[in-house]
Chain A
Amino acid sequence: DAKTTQPTSMDCAEGRAANLPCNHSTISGNEYVYWYRQIHSQGPQYIIHGLKNNETNEMASLIITEDRKSSTLILPHATLRDTAVYYCIVLTSGNTPLVFGKGTRLSVIA
């Protein structure tokens, strides 16, 4: 699976949009971008995934650049409960083992 690069940490004010970037410059044409998050010592939680089109669900939006070398996860109105480590993972299939990097530690501040 392709490697990803994410900032180590980010802060976001409560109620504002949180934009979490991810670089995946070696992504292959058949690889998806997945986002998971882990709230302090809980099991990781799936957020969203995409191939090349932008995606939106009830939790977040995923913007993938046209060349697919980077993406941004957007939490439109961050709350304190969104404080977590966010992982960007590139996979050919969601049913294969996840390779977790260090992720981005997002702190939402009141």
Chain B
Amino acid sequence: DSGVTQTPKHLITATGQRVTLRCSPRSGDLSVYWYQQSLDQGLQFLIQYYNGEERAKGNILERFSAQQFPDLHSELNLSSLELGDSALYFCASSVGGGGRGSYNEQFFGPGTRLTVL
């Protein structure tokens, strides 16, 4: 158990719908990362938040958005869903925010499996 929790575990929805994935980081971790894993694209970084602020952005579609709340939990919102959005979505957390020389590892949650029909 990494200490990172994600809900829900599974989500089945239809094209065009909107869903929200939730992540609670490990106690004391200030950074939250979202990753997407699909069969054809592998594991891809989407977005990082550090202490409530967006820190880095990856291959995140405009239909997707995220935020980190004052209690440090994070939500990933996916809208206008397409079949290709079906994937495993992982949240990870780490202590720091990316400064040079900070080499804390990232702890990953169990993921949310999204199926778009």
Could you tell me which A residues sit within 8 Å of B by CB distance? 30, 32, 34, 38, 41-46, 49, 87, 92-102
The smallest beta-carbon distance between A42 and chain B, in angstroms, is: 7
Q: How far is the CA of A46 from the CA of B108 in the complex (A)?
A: 9
Contact between chains at A49 and B105 (CB < 8 Å): yes
The answer, yes or no, to whether B4 is at the interface (CB within 8 Å) is: yes
- Interface of B: prevailing SS: loop
Q: How far is the CA of A41 from the CA of B109 in the complex (A)?
A: 11
Q: How far is the CA of A71 from the CA of B56 in the complex (A)?
A: 28
Contact between chains at B43 and A97 (CB < 8 Å): no
Q: How far is the CA of A99 from the CA of B105 in the complex (A)?
A: 14
Interface size on B, residues (CB 8 A): 33
Q: How far is the CA of A42 from the CA of B108 in the complex (A)?
A: 9
| A87: nearest chain-B partner, CB-CB | B43
Q: Which residue from A32, A49, A95, A102 sits with its C-beta under 8 Å from B31?
A: A95
Task: For B78, list chain A residues within 8 Å (CB).
Answer: none
Known: A43-B4, A100-B44. A95 touches B104 (CB 8 A): yes
Could you tell me which B residues sit within 8 Å of A by CB distance? 2, 4, 31, 33, 35, 42-45, 48, 56, 58, 88, 90, 92, 94-111
Contact between chains at B4 and A95 (CB < 8 Å): no
Q: Which residue from A41, A87, A97, A99 sits with its C-beta under 8 Å from B48?
A: A97
Known: A97-B33, A100-B42, A100-B44. A46 touches B105 (CB 8 A): yes
Contact between chains at A30 and B100 (CB < 8 Å): yes
Q: How far is the CA of A96 from the CA of B33 in the complex (A)?
A: 9
Task: For B98, list chain A residues within 8 Å (CB).
Answer: 93, 95-96
